[in-house]
Chain A
């Protein structure tokens, strides 16, 4: 499950994969978009797949737990094309991202 190839731009922790599976059981297929700016910026936004159709400016970085993970190309370039580790932190999501009642997704730099 998930993408754990060393060269992948996005990977996910075991907890994140487990959360994706739980959310998929509830909502169906999912997709992630890495956000930027303002209140919940810099957080990955988890949505039902198709809720926001990816546009020509979106880059598919890989899949996590079977869900595509997109980032805006220009944003990704400006951020220096980092690798992301999708992880889970305590507390429900504060914005429009789907989340568990007690945990939300974050992206970190894999260490």
Chain B
């Protein structure tokens, strides 16, 4: 048994045999160099897997944001004028560096966030590389537009970079969400100052180490620190031309307000309570499609439920509820929870003690409001060094859509299940939420799936699949789930200005004066 254990588990970062080296402390990445925070302060960065420190990371303030903005502004013209070919080359080189260091980044990301390494190896890190490659490619095919106003007058439309942008990253996919923001910003010719989430400041710095000689100095800058100080200093700064944020609703409003004060654009992605809808025909045959649908429900436990699009409300047609749910519960019962660095682990650790306690609070609320607990409902205390980690059992409640556990985003492996009678009922329940980020529809009837997909008020409706995030498929919210789209070349518009040159080739005066 011992040898099997060794072969399936990576050594933790910083330990002998680990693919990841760890320095005692990490400074900010500014102007292509490692720069100590002005105040000289650092904070311990914990691994959620053990609750033990990984390293120290800069605890920055407004002055550090100013330094990063200085560095970015110093090179924004040069980078903005670089040809698409040159920018594309840089982005492709970033992608190559990520691919070549897949295991190192996957292990760092897993230890940093608590997510299973099987997910970072197969999804987070390859998708991050692909994202840089996608934007490297699409900018080569971009072209401006020419409008012929009349035979002597032409409007030439050019896309120009905004300049220097600010980007605030969430903790749930520290590297991938950074890639979603950095790649289009750089592709469009902008320089960026990135503020990682406070609980996950380090893994993105491992990526920065890899690409510090690839990205021209000052084009990409990373400053760590608390949101209320560092994040605010960035988001409210007069020297940024755009702010992008992923997080919760009140801070989203705050960010949009800062943007309004400075008259700059913002994009926000603010969470969800995504319905995952299973029609009775999924059980018309006992085949691979049914198996896929069962997995589709269990995907609520992907990344420990810490996903803005977590399919956290399952809507199951009442005629199949008992049988379908029994199969799902069977699958949930055998979920392997443990060391995130074990390739066999399917469910890792929640990102922080605060997140774990929030989940515990919601499970209590679910019990108090009379929801039926079908499985889980407790913190999972693991043995050895994992005893200090933040593990929570995969949990399922059955209830009704008016309960708090159906309306609030729990951000954990907690599923709220209810039943519906028919298509109209399913659509009504699906849309009875503040949010509109994601949704899932499962049916063998393509027409019904299409009607549902168009009827659901959400930016992304997965049909007979879930939790796929390929580049070139737009992602973003309806309703209070935010404003803007990511993950598609339309992002280039979010990161560009339109310059119109209106040119007259007519020699004659207008004749007004």
Q: Does A52 contact B354, Cβ atoms closer than 8 Å?
A: no
The number of chain B residues with a CB under 8 A from chain A is 52
Contact across chains for B409 and A43 when beta carbons are under 8 A apart: no
In the complex, which residues of chain B have a beta carbon less than 8 angstroms from the beta carbon of A37? 248-249, 270-273, 308, 409, 434-435, 480-481
Q: Is residue B365 within 8 Å, beta carbon to beta carbon, of the partner chain?
A: yes
Q: Which residue of A lies closest to B401 (CB)?
A: A78
The contact string, 1 if C-beta is below 8 Å from chain B, for chain A 37-60, is 111111101010001110000000
Interface contact B228-A82, CB-CB below 8 Å: no
Within 8 A of A (CB), among B159-174: 170-172
B408 interface hit (Cβ, 8 Å): yes
**Residues of A contacting B250 in the complex (Cβ-Cβ under 8 angstroms):** 33-36, 45, 52
The chain B residue sitting closest to A52, CB to CB, is: B254
Known: A36-B409, A38-B308, A42-B408. A97 touches B228 (CB 8 A): yes
CB pair B352–A91 under 8 Å, yes or no, is yes
Tell me which of B253, B271, B480 contacts A52 (CB under 8 A). B253
By beta carbon, the residue of chain B nearest A80 is: B404
Whether the pair B227, A93 counts as a contact (CB closer than 8 A) is yes
User: A39 → chain B, closest Cβ, in Å?
Assistant: 5
- Distance of A104 Cα from B408 Cα, bound (Å): 20
CA distance A62 to B98 in the complex (A): 50
Q: Which of B228, B232, B369, B403 contacts A99 (CB 8 A)?
A: B228
A90 near B228: Cβ-Cβ < 8 Å: no
B487 at the interface (CB under 8 A from A): no
Let me know if A89 is at the binding interface, CB within 8 A: yes
Residue from A36, A82, A97 having most chain B Cβ neighbours under 10 A: A36
- Residue-by-residue, is B325-342 near A (CB-CB < 8 Å gives 1, otherwise 0)? 000000000000000000
Known: A39-B172, A39-B197, A95-B248. A80 touches B308 (CB 8 A): no
Out of A91, A95, A98, name the residue touching B353 (CB < 8 Å): A91
Interface flag for B257 (CB, 8 Å): yes
Q: Quick check: is B278 within 8 A (CB to CB) of the other chain?
A: no
Q: B interface vs A, CB < 8 Å?
A: 43, 170-172, 197-199, 226-228, 231-232, 246-251, 253-254, 257, 269-273, 306, 308, 352-354, 357-358, 361-362, 364-365, 368-369, 402-404, 407-411, 433-435, 480-481
| Chain A interfacial positions (CB closer than 8 Å to B) | 33-43, 45, 47, 51-53, 72, 74-75, 78-80, 82, 89-99, 104, 106, 108-109
Extra contacts, 7 of them, besides A37-B248, A39-B170, A43-B248 (Cβ < 8 A), are A36-B480, A37-B434, A40-B251, A42-B410, A52-B254, A79-B404, A106-B358
